[in-house]
Structure 1
Amino acid sequence: MDESSVLTNPRSDRVRAVRALAGRAVRRRQGRFLVEGPQSVREAVGGPRVRVRDLYVTPGAAARYPEILAAAAARAIRTTYGDDEVLSAMSPDGQGVVAVADLLGGGLDELLDRAAPPRLVAVLAQVRDPGNAGAVIRAADAAGAAGVVLTRDSVDVHNPKVVRSTAGSLFHLPVVHDAPLTDVVTALRASGLQVLAADGAGEHDLDDLLDVAGAPPAGVPDLARPTAWVFGNEAWGLPATDRGLADAVVRVPLRGRAESLNLATAATVCLYASSRAQR
């Protein structure tokens, strides 16, 4: 590496342009977003779901993560070196590794138009917290879900905190965003999925459903069936109109003194219950 080619000015136009992608308006205008940190960047440059335009690394990070550089070279991704101050100016959370990628595309068609219909989908309805949204995407990936849908008025999936919170799972499965909940439910149901809403006041207990999965009595949802779970905003949950779109409303049992579960935790429990029943 030629040391004269290393970026050293943290106030340069190029550095400012990368940093500006933290803002939603700039992302929309440029059609690109920021991927920060070695884990997320590794998954982005190594997979086919996202088009990475540029990779920025410090010399030290390049030495620590040679697999990222190798994957970028294999995909002909332009790689630029910058010193620690430059990479910190681009992203305080990048740990010396930052990428710029095209905004993720794909709608419900990508998720549903397959030889085999999806068996498990997570739907986030007006979920505004980026950490929660990212954690649910990560949990859905881990549970084997076919994809995640963020409805209209949810957090921007390209928000840097969402991207970081997915720990790379954003690049493993289709993530549909900005879709009206009514359209999502209609499309999922037409593809053969039952739609279950998760809510603390749900009529059905998740543990009870696991006990009868595969052969439930009449009127009881079957967790072994292909299922789309709908999760609401952590502050106010799912409004009655949204719950009314589902085939059934399910509660996660609380056996201790906790008043409720964090949204991402509750979603993880529900997704793994379906994954276990479908196994």
Structure 2
Amino acid sequence: MTALRPEVAEFDRDGRPGDGQPGGVMPTSEHEGAGLVQLHESIATLLASRGQWRQAYQHLRSAFDLVYADQDDPPQVPEQLRREVDRLRREHAEAREQSLRDSLTHSYNRRYLDQRLVGMVAERGGTAPGLAIALIDLDWFKQVNDTFGHLLGDRVLQRVVELLQEELPEGAFCARYGGEEFVLVLPGLDAGPAVEIAESARLRVERHAWASLAPGLRVTVSIGLAYEPPAAESPARPPVGPEQQLLRADSLLYTAKQSGRNAVAYREGGRVRLAGPASGRRGIAESRVAGY
């Protein structure tokens, strides 16, 4: 595309030239037609740089229409225009993906988590599968930063995310909830497999060779797993919203912390339990959420 010319400065609120629709003024000469083509291409470049992909595409399409305005047969899309449109689509997809990723760990961010959870709850009709949400917190992470420095602390967060994302089933994802807290969203599973996935993630973190990053470094995580059964099992009950399910996961995370850390806490048959080796611990803390 050509660079934006200095005189191209005024647009309406949809990113179109001030005279209205793209291509709304038909050229009166071949020279004017070529000028309008360049104008639309320049505007498209500017709009793409602003992330206004739909309007950029409209201007590219207007340039294409001007080039072939006098032809009777529908023209083939020229290869150059096709490449430009493909490039805009790729840049749009990349920009959107970056806006949904945490800049440090490259896991999904809180924005993506909120959007996905709202969508999952909205889709929970009569045949909706189960949904597990595991809220994960690094144990004693402040001591890691104080002892080894924040730079190494950042490397620990990055490595923990890599470990959490290993062996996730299709449709599951990891998101950074904030600070040293992360969330695993596990849709379409029964309660038992969801607990197994959370316990496997906890164990991978515990067994990782952390001393390779710094002598004496040890990292563990505590996990609270909240499970919402398939809608078909309780069709009369309204679906639990994402905030409520996250609140339940947070309550179970508190239980895991208060029960000795480095554990997965979940609820089964109305009782709070710990998974794996931690199941033999005594004095499991009570949930902080009343009625749960």
Q: TM-score, normalised by structure 1?
A: 0.27
Higher strand share: 1
Larger radius of gyration: 2
Higher helix share: 2
